[in-house]
Structure formats: C-alpha cells, structure tokens
C-alpha cells in the first residue's frame, strides 16, 4: 500500500511570511554563510603569514569584482547575524517575546543591518 | 506516575545537568563574539591599507594578535556549534549525518589551529 495519493500537509510555500519567520530563517542562512566566510578569514591570516606573494594572490582575487561581491555579502551576513544575535540574547532574558515587540525588532534588525553594511562600505572604501 | 528511576529518586539528583551545555556554549561565545566582532570591524575600518606590509604590521601588534586569536577561537567554536545544529536538523541519513558531523568538527578545529598558528608566526616574526 502506498501513501502517494494522500494530500500533503501545508508547508512553507503556503504561508504568508511573517517578518519573525523571515528573520529566523535569515539568521540561520547568514550563520551558514559566515561559517564559509570563516574559511576565507583564516585564509587571509594564513596567506599573510605565508608571505607577500601568497598574500598578493589572495588580495588579487578578493579585490576583483567577484571578490568584492562576496565580501559585501559576508559583511551583510556578519552585520545581520550580529544584530539579530543581540535580539536573540534579549529574548533569552525573557524580554521582547510578544507578537508586536518581536515583529518590530524583526524589521528593526533587517533595516539596521542593511544601513550598517552600507555605512561600513562607505567608510572602508 | 513519576518517570524518574528508583535510584534517581533516592539520590534526588535528577539529570547530570549537562543538557544545556550546547545552548550555553552558543550564548557565551555569542557574547564574546559581539565584543570581539565589534573590535574587528573598527580595526578593519582604521587599517591604513590592505597591503601585505600594513596587514602584517597590524597582526604583529601584541594586542591585535591576542584579540585576533581570541576572535578566531570564539568564531570557530560558535561556527562549529551552529553548523552542528544545521546538520542535525536537515541531514537525516544516519551515515551521511555522522560523516558530516565528523568533517565539520575536524574542519573547525583545523581552521582554528591554522588561524592561531598564522597569527603566532606573524606576531613572533619567524
């Protein structure tokens, strides 16, 4: 006997995304992106230790269009994960868990992370 | 009906109290990373350039070297805990899940040690 004909229970695609859901998924996504960014961070340190030639190869790629795009992505991931991480720590203290407070803080974190990323690149470049 | 074992009831100790270790480790490293991450962003902004000489001068300063090592270790630990949860949530095939958990742990330890080694090498100037 197969179960193939049975209707599936509603899944992700059927719901309107509340900001709390989006911010939660984004937290995990940016966390995973940062785990990959950790490899590049260590590569930066290690290539600097290897010497000027190896380091030049690293900055050569990271200074290219693709490299800059990746760095912008990682900086956004960092600032989002940073801001939303603080939101999580506030939640852990038992504060701000209500429907309205968590929706407001969700939007705040999303907007703030974009603004801070833009400011960072304005200052650094 | 109590679910506690007769021995547990007699001793009155409950669990081994290690159940929250993962959760706490994630929070403690998160607080550490909030401070170290903020420092790193400020350090990157105030770096005069990203050439080899400037970066080596930055890393070899004792305070920067120390904070960079702490940042690398905290980042590796926090990342390891996070990736572990992601693997446990989405990979259900037993063998693959085990292999990925092994690989993730090895990779994080490898990267953490590599970072500390690189910083020491630059800092000690050998």
Of chain A, the percentage scoring pLDDT greater than 70 comes to: 95
**Which pLDDT score is estimated for B6?**
77
C-alpha span between B41 and B32 (Å, rounded): 14
Domain A19-124 has CATH 1.20.1300.10: yes
CA angle B19, B100, B73 (to 5 degrees): 65
Structural domain includes residue B7: no
CA-based nearest distance B115→chain A, Å: 5
Global pTM reads 0.88
pLDDT digits (tens, 9 = 90+) for A71-111: 999 999 999 999 999 999 999 999 999 999 999 999 999 99
Q: Judge whether residue A1 has pLDDT over 60.
A: no
In whole angstroms, give the CA distance from residue A33 to residue A73.
9
In degrees and rounded to multiples of 5, residue B48 shows phi and psi of -65, -25
pLDDT tens for each residue of B44-64: 999 999 999 999 999 999 999
CATH number, position B113: 1.20.1300.10
The 8 Å CB, 24+ separation contacts for B46-51 are B50/A59, B51/A59
The count of structural domains within chain B is 1
Closest residue, chain B, to A60 (C-alpha): B51
B8: in domain? no
Do the Cβ atoms of A48 and B76 come within 8 Å? no
Domain that holds residue B70: 21-124
CA distance B111 to A36: 11
Query: Which residue from A108, A48, A41, A124 is spatially nearest to B36, judged by alpha carbons?
Result: A41
pLDDT range class, residue B34, cuts 50, 70, 90: very high
Scanning B33-92 for CB atoms below 8 A from A yields: 33-34, 37-38, 41, 44-45, 50-52, 55-56, 59, 68, 72, 75-76, 79, 82-83, 86
Whether B1 maps to a domain, the answer reads: no
Whether A31 contacts chain B with CB within 8 A = yes
Residue B25 forms part of a structural domain:
yes
Any domain includes B89: yes
Residue B14 within a domain: no
Give a yes or no: residue B4 inside a domain: no
Domain assignment of residue B85, yes or no = yes
A36 touches chain B (CB under 8 A): no
| pLDDT beyond 70 at B16 | no
Percent of all residues in chain B with a pLDDT value above 70, rounded to a whole number:
94
- Domain residue extents for chain A: 19-124
What's the complex ipTM? 0.88
């Amino acid at each position: 006997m197969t179960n193939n004909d049975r209707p599936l229970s509603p899944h992700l695609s059927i719901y309107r995304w509340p900001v709390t859901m989006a911010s939660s998924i984004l937290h995990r996504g940016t966390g995973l992106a940062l785990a990959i960014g950790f490899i590049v961070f260590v590569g930066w340190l290690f290539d600097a230790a290897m010497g000027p030639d190896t380091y030049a190869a690293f900055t050569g790629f990271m200074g290219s269009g693709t490299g800059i795009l990746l760095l912008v992505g990682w900086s956004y991931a960092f600032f989002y994960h940073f801001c939303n991480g603080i939101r999580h720590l506030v939640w852990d203290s038992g504060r701000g868990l209500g429907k309205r407070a968590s929706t407001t803080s969700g939007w705040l974190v999303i907007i703030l992370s974009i603004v801070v990323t833009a400011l960072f690149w304005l200052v650094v470049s | 009906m109590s679910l506690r074992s007769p021995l547990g009831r007699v001793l009155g100790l409950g669990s081994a109290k290690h159940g929250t270790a993962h959760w706490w480790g994630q929070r403690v490293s998160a607080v550490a990373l909030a401070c170290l991450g903020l420092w790193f962003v400020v350090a990157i902004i105030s770096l005069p350039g990203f050439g080899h000489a400037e970066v080596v001068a930055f890393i070899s300063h004792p305070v920067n070297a120390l904070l960079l090592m702490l940042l690398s270790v905290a980042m590796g630990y926090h990342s390891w805990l996070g990736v572990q949860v992601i693997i446990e949530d989405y990979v259900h095939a037993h063998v693959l899940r085990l292999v990925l958990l092994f690989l993730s742990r090895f990779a994080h330890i490898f990267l953490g040690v590599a970072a500390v080694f690189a910083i020491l090498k630059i800092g000690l100037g050998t």
